[in-house]
Structure 1
């Protein structure tokens, strides 16, 4: 299994169909030098390989594998500071299809929490809001709180039909339910922002 940890995906780089790996790497270096204002430092960054995800499509993102995690982190941090998170040209982490789908499902709650001035971040397929960690449960089609403050931490139950005891879920209507082994105890409104 190949590690995706050292990869970054560069969106919005101009290119041509049938671009070689060397040409893709040069596009990445040019982007780092000019757009990310790294200058000559971009030439010293060690890139193992860089190529278009779909080589026949000149608008396909370029995926680059960095040899040093520290250099990858520097490039990613500069991209976030300069480009932000949205836009035509952007740099993202390389996630599996499943993680991308989970993140897409969690994003309305991310936006809602950010708009409510809560401390919020996303790590892989987990949403962390004010210290509580949420994940998307595909079977339920809901968001489930898998850990919170030490006193609220959830434990998995063996042989139970529900994956968590005292599970907290956010259903499609946006209501937050706290349940003890299936019985509803509390409901609070936490609807995601309309997009």
Structure 2
């Protein structure tokens, strides 16, 4: 196991490089009521960026190039032998010492969670100590071949607490990104089953469909404003099902008005639906059969984005809806 100690400056600059592009997402949204939620979440994300900037500025002011080992720690790392491990166990009984170690481990970077765990282990113990440890322990008559159990040590608890915290933060960040994507699609509708013609004007095709099949008045259809209308995916064979059309409406109320007439398509090969990110679509596919089961039992079941409400109560099950936990 190789001892990896990247500089604190390198770690912070790397984390800054990951967060900085989030600021420029604001350029893609108009500052109206529709995008307010997106901008609010962006401000929460960029708050972390500002905190990191302050850390970098403080380091630059000292004129130093500290490594991860610098600063006040409850013990010296890496640990080299059993005696140092025993001392670490005693030190980590203190809650403050645990928090200090968690903060230090959190500074160690990694492109994935697995890489970060490996780097934390390399930072915490040497090969010499690792060679006399075993996850569950190993007892033999030969005293020289016995290995100490590592899984119940305070050091491991500190490491696992850090991994748990990272998992929680990664999940929160992922959900924030999915929520941002969903907000960016809230003005979109997906029209499926509309025949496709070479060289078609897709916007004209959609307006004709809305008038003919959704039965909206002609004057209403003329006033509908689109930001963009296009088909999804590459051209298919003439015998294949036509590609869906994504229409981004200029006004949310117009989009909702068109969507409300979707009942006119019952019993046809056409459909009109909200557009969602891939992750939410997968969650909805899980919820649809469950919703159907509740309806068959006489309950009122409604799916809102990626949540199922049964008789007004949110349906939650760790094995089925893990994204709610």
Instruction: Report the aligned-residue RMSD.
Output: 2.3
Cα 1:145/1:4, change in 2 over 3 Å: closer
Match of 2:261 among 43, 57, 78: 78
Unaligned runs of 5+ in 2: 1-24, 26-180
* Match for residue 64 of structure 1 among 244, 247, 268: 247
**Cα distance between partner residues in 2 of 1:145 and 1:28:** 35
TM-score (norm 1): 0.64
* Equivalent in the alignment of 1:35: 213
Find the counterpart in structure 1 of residue 294 from structure 2: 113
For 2:233, the equivalent position in structure 1 comes to 54
Q: Distance in 2 between matches of 1:101 and 1:109?
A: 14
Larger Rg: 2
Shift of residue 124 of structure 1? 0.6
Q: How far, CA to CA, are the matches of 2:316 and 2:306 in structure 1?
A: 7
Determine the C-alpha separation between the residues in 2 that align with 1:55 and 1:32: 24
- The question of whether the paired residues in 2 share the 8 Å contact of 1:9 and 1:64 is answered with yes
Q: How many residues align?
A: 139
Is the helix fraction higher in 1 or 2? 2
* Alignment partners' CA distance in 2, 1:35 and 1:54: 24
Q: What is the match of residue 314 of structure 2? A: 133
Q: Alpha-carbon deviation of 1:83?
A: 1.5
1:14/1:128 Cα in 2 relative to 1: closer, same or farther (>3 Å)? same
Q: TM-score, normalised by structure 2?
A: 0.40
Note the alpha carbon deviations across 1:71-93, whole angstroms, 9 max, x for none.
000000011x2123x75201010
Q: Which runs of 4+ in 1 moved over 6 A?
A: none
1-structure distance, mates of 2:316, 2:259: 24
Q: 1-side partners of 2:323 and 2:290: how far apart?
A: 12
State the SS of the aligned residue for 1:14.
coil
Instruction: Output the CA distance in 2 between the equivalents of 1:135 and 1:98.
Output: 17
The residue correspondences of 1:133-152 to structure 2 (distance < 5 A) are 133-134=314-315, 140=319, 142-143=320-321
Query: CA 1:97 to 1:145, structure 2 compared with 1: closer, same or farther past 3 Å?
Result: closer
